[in-house]
Homo-oligomer: A and B are copies of this chain.
Amino acid sequence: MYEELKQQVYDANLALQQHGLVVFTWGNVSGLDRNRGVMAIKPSGVSYDDLTPEDIVLVDLQGHIVAGDLRPSSDTPTHLELYRSFPGLGGICHTHSLYATMWAQAQRPIPCFGTTHADHFYGPVPVTDALTCGEIDGPYEENTGKLIVRRFAGLDPLQMPAVLVANHGPFTWGRGPDQAVENAVVLEQVAQMAYGTLAINHGQNAILQALLDRHYLRKHGPGAYYGQKKTME
């Protein structure tokens, strides 16, 4: 019944490793069957080499285990909070990829310096506030989700499928687990490019809004003309 979802989530977790975004078990991808209200997610602390599709854990949107012998990722409450708050999401990905994490640790948003960025993220990639001591000592992972949701007031999560959690690292998402991973790959590239751009020119400005519109809309939305399909997304 959930075999396809589990397979998708398994494939997406492996793709994370194939793209060089994870060391040891420092990453997790989930996928949501929104009709049934069931999320599939990587089990906690299981190495990618040992992982099988059967190991993927199923939980409902309140975090109760639906199926699976293993404990779900410790970041499960963060994923659930995002699925509950952002209706269009079908996949979420969390990594500690090097350059995206540098920006998260530096507590700086990633400015949009070029079309690579504009093709995927509609504006600067936002960084959250730091959690307060009270939020850290409470339900920490769920509060991380709430922190992200708060940061997205006024932002469309499907036009900005990435966030940097301050002092921590990136979360990305999409219509499905595969898109979440794709956005994680793009974010890491964009993070490295922005890092180098500032090293070459400390005062570099973001691109024009017109260029951002052009590139983002060339790939997304009704007028998209990139690729082979009539519509994307």
Given A116-B101, A137-B214, A208-B133: A44 and B198 within 8 A (CB)?
A: no
Cα–Cα distance between A154 and B192 once the two chains are bound (Å): 34
The answer on a CB contact under 8 Å between A113 and B44 is: no
The answer on a CB contact under 8 Å between A116 and B96 is: yes
Interface segment, A1-9, A31-39, A59-67, A221-229? Answer: A221-229
Q: In this assembly, does A84 line the interface, its C-beta being within 8 Å of a C-beta of chain B?
A: no
Copies of this protein chain in the complex: 4
In the complex, what residues of B have CB within 8 A of residue A158's CB?
Answer: none
Cα–Cα distance between A233 and B74 once the two chains are bound (Å): 16
Interface residues of A in 101-136 (CB under 8 A from B): 101-108, 113-116, 130-131, 133, 136
Number of residues from A at the complex interface, CB < 8 A: 61
Given A106-B197, A208-B130: A45 and B98 within 8 A (CB)?
A: no
Q: In this assembly, does A149 line the interface, its C-beta being within 8 Å of a C-beta of chain B?
A: no
The answer on a CB contact under 8 Å between B131 and A114 is: no
Sample of 18 A–B contacts (CB below 8 Å)? A25-B227, A43-B228, A44-B226, A45-B228, A45-B229, A71-B227, A98-B192, A102-B193, A102-B196, A105-B194, A106-B198, A106-B201, A107-B204, A131-B211, A133-B210, A136-B208, A136-B214, A140-B214
